[in-house]
């Protein structure tokens, strides 16, 4: 095949509203019409994917990353596999990742070209656009890096969740891949590794926190990013546990009254009540160091006291329309804050570290896992941490989280003499 058979699908974030209003652009619909796939289903794929990307249009870095990956996947699915989203299975996904590693030369351009151009008042396909960009040297073909493949998997995992929620997919195709490839070698799509928790390193977390503090000191617009990220990490929270959620048909808004001052052993401490997964409540002890961030957030909001008063009903994360923030908004703010840290790493020359953090920036559970892992490694009783995580048993927590014994074993192994 001597010519590129695909085409760009999604425009830049600044043009996305226009593209949605125009049902994906006439030029894109015409290009889809020339493909050997079910036309109505392909147009439905276009519509639902535009809706997915709209949720990220205000987060430039995340939008660009997710747009690029969804665009590549749909291009492969329609053009190469000849399928639509309702036909995606583990075999398609595994083949797609093989394709990502070494795409055909006609799919790669040495230069970046915008996907669409203005022509007579319309947005039209730019024929110079390609899904992949990379310089070839001495006849070598483009190859995807491990960090790039990991980033692709992260983006598609988010996309597939969205599609399952809207009944486009019945099952996560990654689950099928894992079932088929449980004994795959390290160079396979899904690498088999020693079980370990997905968490930030101590250096990564320190850098994230410092970057956000400096950003908030310089611009109060980042106060919310700092508070949410520190809170999720320090109190082992899921996104849904800081967001408005439906309980028995009524919205439950996390409020400052969920923070309580208590006394044990003659000493005062603060706790936070969480209405969490499975509609089960639990109480989490607030670290003393965390209270400074809570005070800082309340000062930004203009609250009447540094720490919450009894029965203070105001939402912890007030929205512009009143009430609290939804899960999608909390997720987006986390990603914005983490991408800010990624940019700071790049600015300071930590390019490899920035690529690693960017690949997992949308996986906010890393915050919860990091907080719990660090607490256990610092000597906290795993039974107490298990209760505050909301796990059914301490044995389950031990299976998932990196504990102090493993950390010491790794340190000893790394320090062995040669």
pLDDT of residue 60: 82
Given pLDDT bands bounded at 50, 70 and 90, which one contains residue 218? very high
pLDDT for 413 beyond 80: no
CATH code for residues 202-414? 1.10.443.10
pLDDT of residue 135: 57
d(CA 201, CA 181): 28
pLDDT for 389 beyond 90: no
Can you tell me whether residue 160 is helix, strand or coil? helix
pLDDT of residue 190: 40
pLDDT for 9 beyond 70: yes
Report the mean per-residue pLDDT for the chain: 86
pLDDT of residue 405: 47
pLDDT for 259 beyond 50: yes
d(CA 131, CA 106): 10
**Could you tell me what percent of the chain has a pLDDT over 90?**
57
Question: 369, 368, 354, 363: which is closest to 334 by C-alpha?
Answer: 363
Distances (CA, A) of 401 to 220, 377, 396, 411: 35, 10, 9, 17
Domain ranges of the chain: 13-180, 202-414
pTM: 0.55
What average pLDDT does range 34-59 have in this prediction? 93
Given pLDDT bands bounded at 50, 70 and 90, which one contains residue 180? low
Which single residue is written with the structure tokens 């995340």? 62
Query: How many other C-beta atoms are found inside a 10 Å radius of the C-beta of residue 117?
Result: 15
CB 254 within 8 A of CB 359: no
The DSSP string of 286-329 is: PPTTHHHHHHHHHHHHT-SSSSPPTT--SBSSB-TTSSB--HHH
Given pLDDT bands bounded at 50, 70 and 90, which one contains residue 61? confident
Task: Using alpha carbons only, give the angle 301, 56, 201 rounded to the nearest 5 degrees.
Answer: 75
| The two structure tokens encoding residue 7 | 């085409």
What average pLDDT does range 5-15 have in this prediction? 95
pLDDT of residue 414: 46
Q: pLDDT, tens digit, for every residue of 70-82?
A: 999 999 999 999 9
Q: pLDDT, tens digit, for every residue of 84-142?
A: 999 999 889 999 999 999 899 899 998 899 999 999 999 999 999 999 987 554 456 67
Query: How many other C-beta atoms are found inside a 10 Å radius of the C-beta of residue 382?
Result: 19
CB 19 within 8 A of CB 50: yes
> What sign for the dihedral angle of Cα 68, 132, 363, 49?
positive
Given pLDDT bands bounded at 50, 70 and 90, which one contains residue 276? low
pLDDT for 305 beyond 60: yes
Q: pLDDT, tens digit, for every residue of 327-385?
A: 889 999 999 999 999 999 999 999 988 999 998 888 888 999 999 988 888 878 888 88
What average pLDDT does range 141-145 have in this prediction? 79
Between 223-234 and 202-218, two packed helices, what is the crossing angle to 10 degrees?
150
pLDDT of residue 300: 97
pLDDT of residue 1: 42
pLDDT of residue 301: 96
Of 29-38, 244-253, 284-293, 323-332, the one with minimum mean pLDDT is 244-253
pLDDT of residue 146: 85
**Could you tell me what percent of the chain has a pLDDT over 70?**
87
């Amino acid at each position: 095949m001597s010519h590129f058979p695909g085409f760009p699908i999604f425009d830049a974030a600044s043009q996305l509203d226009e593209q949605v209003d125009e049902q994906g652009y006439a030029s894109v619909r015409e290009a889809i019409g020339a493909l050997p796939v079910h036309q109505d289903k392909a147009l439905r794929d276009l519509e639902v994917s535009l809706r997915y990307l709209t949720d990220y249009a205000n987060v430039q870095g995340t939008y660009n990353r997710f747009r690029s990956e969804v665009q590549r996947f749909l291009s492969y699915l329609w053009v190469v596999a000849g399928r639509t989203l309702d036909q995606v299975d583990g075999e398609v996904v595994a083949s797609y990742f093989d394709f990502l590693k070494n795409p055909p030369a006609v799919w790669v351009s040495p230069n970046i070209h915008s996907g669409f151009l203005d022509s007579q008042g319309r947005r039209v396909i730019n024929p110079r656009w390609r899904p992949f960009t990379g310089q070839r040297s001495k006849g070598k073909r483009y190859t995807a890096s491990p960090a790039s493949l990991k980033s692709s998997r992260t983006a598609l995992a988010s996309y597939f969740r969205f599609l399952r929620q809207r009944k486009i997919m019945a099952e996560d195709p990654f689950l099928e891949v894992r079932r088929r490839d449980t004994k795959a070698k390290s160079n396979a799509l899904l690498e088999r590794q020693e079980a370990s928790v997905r968490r930030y390193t101590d250096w990564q977390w320190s850098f994230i926190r410092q970057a956000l503090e400096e950003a908030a000191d310089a611009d109060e617009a980042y106060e919310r990013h700092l508070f949410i990220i520190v809170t999720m990490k320090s109190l082992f929270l899921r996104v849904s546990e800081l967001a408005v959620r439906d309980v028995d048909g009524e919205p439950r808004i996390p409020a400052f009254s969920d923070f309580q001052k208590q006394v044990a052993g003659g000493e005062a401490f603060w706790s936070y009540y969480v209405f969490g997964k499975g509609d089960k409540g639990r109480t989490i002890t607030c670290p003393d160091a965390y209270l400074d961030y809570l005070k800082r957030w309340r000062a930004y909001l203009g609250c009447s006291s540094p720490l919450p008063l009894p029965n203070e009903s105001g939402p912890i994360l007030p929205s512009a329309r009143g009430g609290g923030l939804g899960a999608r908004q909390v997720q987006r703010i986390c990603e914005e804050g983490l991408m800010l840290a990624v940019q700071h790493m790049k600015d300071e020359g930590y390019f490899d570290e920035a690529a690693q953090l960017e690949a997992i920036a949308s996986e906010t559970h890393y915050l919860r896992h990091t907080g719990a892992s660090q607490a256990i490694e610092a000597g906290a009783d795993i039974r107490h941490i298990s209760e505050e995580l909301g796990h059914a048993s301490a044995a389950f927590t031990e299976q998932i989280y990196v504990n102090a014994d493993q950390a010491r074993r790794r340190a000893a192994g790394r320090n062995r003499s040669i």
